[in-house]
Amino acid sequence: MGLLECCEGLFGTSNLYQVLGVEKEASEAEIRRGYYKVSLQVHPDRVPDNEQATEKFQVLGKVYAILSDKEQRAVYDEQGIVDEESDTLRQDRSWDEYWRLLFPKITVDDIKAFEAKYKGSEEEASDVRKSYMDHKGNMDRIMVSVLCCTYEEEPRIREIIEKAIAAGELPTFDAFTNEPEKKKAARKRQANREKREAEKMTKDMGLVDDEDSLKALIQKRQKSHEQETDSFLADLEAKYCKKGGKGRAGKKGKK
Whether the per-residue pLDDT at 146 is higher than 90: the answer is no
pTM greater than the 0.75 cutoff: no
Q: Assess whether pLDDT exceeds 60 at residue 152.
A: yes
Average pLDDT over residues 239-255: 43
pLDDT (0 to 100) of residue 114:
76
Q: What is the mean pLDDT of the chain?
A: 78
Most confident range (mean pLDDT) of 95-109, 110-124, 130-144, 186-200 is 130-144
Query: What single-letter amino acid sits at 246?
Result: K
Comparison of pLDDT for 114 and 61, the residue scoring more: 61
- What pLDDT, on the 0 to 100 scale, is given for residue 92? 67
Q: Give me the pLDDT at residue 221, please.
A: 43
Higher-pLDDT residue of 40, 169: 169
Q: Is the pLDDT of residue 225 over 90?
A: no
Q: What is the pLDDT of residue 94?
A: 81
pLDDT of residue 165: 97
pLDDT in tens, 68-85: 989 999 999 999 999 888
Q: DSSP characters for the chain?
A: --HHHHHHHHHS---HHHHHT--TT--HHHHHHHHHHHHHTT-TTTSTT-HHHHHHHHHHHHHHHHHTSHHHHHHHHHHS---TTSGGG-TT--HHHHHHHHS----HHHHHHHHHHHTTSHHHHHHHHHHHHHTTT-HHHHHHHSTT--GGGHHHHHHHHHHHHHTTSS---HHHHT--HHHHHHHHHHHHHHHHHHHHHHHHTT--SHHHHHHHHHHHHTTT-SS---HHHHHHHHHH--TT------PPPP-
